[in-house]
């Protein structure tokens, strides 16, 4: 079988944001099957599995035998929503010290998400009834006391700090404190979805050492949102591929396979004029740095 140009560019990619199962949301596959698909199709180097509701490191421990058969490195992490106790340093400590690589600050329990997305537009419906209460992370411009020990744990482990779905000003306040604590790996996910941060504001995140993560889920014509890839290309032009990562944000039961979305969106970006080296920077080099794969 002949390898296409886009397959060569994407070979060895790293997906920092995969929503494989188990999860309270319906999922297309579990973590091991997601890793196998990525490896068999594009020799995926690494993947981070995310749940809005629980510490995914424990999932991976339970799938250890299956994952050992797949060369792709698979990492977990923890999102600080109500189901893990919110800003719970003990939960963060366990996740990171058992190998977790990412701490997402509140997503569904953030003020931004609750205030502006009460209808859960763009999100699946949970298979069980779940409650959500707002978690205050920043009050009067200052991170609350519970944020400090969590950032200390992230700094200790060299893990990734992700701003979750918080308001842009709250992300900036947490990232500024993270800079003081020496945290070097920071990410803002889908700034133009839920969060509401334009490129000018994202440049402020970049000045605080952050990478801007865009999701191929949103730009794949076979996925639900079907945004124009030209919009993504414009973001990359404005912020620079050196400050950008592309992740899937896929795994939903009705969504395309992550590999297929990467192929379609990656090819669309190349057709728009993106250099192959810049695409590789965003899907390989930058996320590899964030996960410390070459340390």
Is residue 156 situated within a structural domain? Answer: yes
Is residue 38 situated within a structural domain? Answer: yes
Total structural domains within the chain: 1
Express each pLDDT in 137-185 by its tens digit: 999 999 999 999 999 999 999 999 999 999 999 999 999 999 999 999 9
CA distance 167 to 158: 24
Is residue 183 situated within a structural domain? Answer: yes
CA distance 29 to 148: 36
CA distance 93 to 99: 10
Is residue 178 situated within a structural domain? Answer: yes
Is residue 295 situated within a structural domain? Answer: no
Is residue 163 situated within a structural domain? Answer: yes
What's the pTM? 0.95
Is residue 266 situated within a structural domain? Answer: yes
Domain with 119, as residue range(s), is: 5-290
Peptide bond into 8 cis (omega under 30): no
Residue 43's Cβ-count burial label (10 Å; 0-12, 13-18, 19+) is middle
Q: Is the dihedral of CA 78, 84, 87, 89 positive or negative?
A: negative
Express each pLDDT in 240-271 by its tens digit: 999 999 999 999 878 899 999 999 999 999 99
Comparing CA positions, the residue from 275, 230, 224 lying closest to residue 249 is 224
CATH no. for residue 87? Answer: 3.20.20.140
120 has a pLDDT exceeding 70: no
Average pLDDT over all residues of the chain: 94
Express each pLDDT in 225-243 by its tens digit: 889 999 999 999 999 999 9
Is residue 227 situated within a structural domain? Answer: yes
Rounded to 5 degrees, φ, ψ at 247 are -125, 170
Rounded to 5 degrees, φ, ψ at 102 are -140, 140
CA distance 17 to 290: 12
Average pLDDT over residues 6-16: 97
């Amino acid at each position: 079988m002949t390898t296409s140009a886009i397959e060569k560019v994407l070979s060895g990619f790293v997906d920092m944001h995969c929503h494989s199962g188990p999860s309270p949301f319906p999922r297309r596959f579990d973590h091991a099957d997601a890793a196998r698909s990525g490896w068999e199709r594009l020799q995926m180097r690494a993947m981070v599995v995310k749940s809005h509701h629980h510490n995914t490191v424990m999932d991976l421990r339970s799938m250890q035998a299956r994952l050992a058969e797949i060369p792709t490195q698979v990492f977990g992490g923890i999102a600080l929503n109500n189901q893990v106790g919110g800003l719970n340093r003990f939960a963060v400590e366990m996740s990171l010290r058992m190998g977790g690589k990412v701490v997402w600050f509140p997503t569904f329990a953030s003020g931004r998400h609750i205030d502006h997305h009460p209808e859960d537009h763009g999100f699946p419906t949970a298979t069980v009834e779940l409650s959500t209460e707002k978690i205050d992370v920043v009050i009067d411009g200052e991170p609350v006391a519970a944020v400090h020990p969590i950032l200390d744990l992230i700094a200790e482990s060299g893990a990734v700090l992700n701003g979750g779905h918080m308001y842009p000003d709250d992300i900036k306040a947490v990232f500024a404190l993270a800079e003081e604590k020496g945290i070097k790996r920071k990410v803002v996910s889908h700034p133009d979805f839920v969060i509401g941060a334009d490129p000018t504001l994202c440049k402020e995140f970049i000045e605080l050492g952050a990478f801007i993560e865009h999701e191929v889920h949103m730009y794949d014509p076979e996925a639900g949102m079907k945004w124009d890839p030209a919009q993504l290309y414009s973001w990359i032009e404005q912020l620079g591929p050196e400050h950008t990562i592309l992740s899937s944000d896929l795994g939903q039961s009705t969504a395309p396979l992550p590999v297929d979305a990467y192929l379609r969106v990656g090819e669309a970006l190349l057709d728009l004029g993106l250099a192959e080296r810049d695409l590789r920077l965003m899907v390989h080099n930058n996320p590899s740095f964030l996960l410390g794969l070459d340390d």
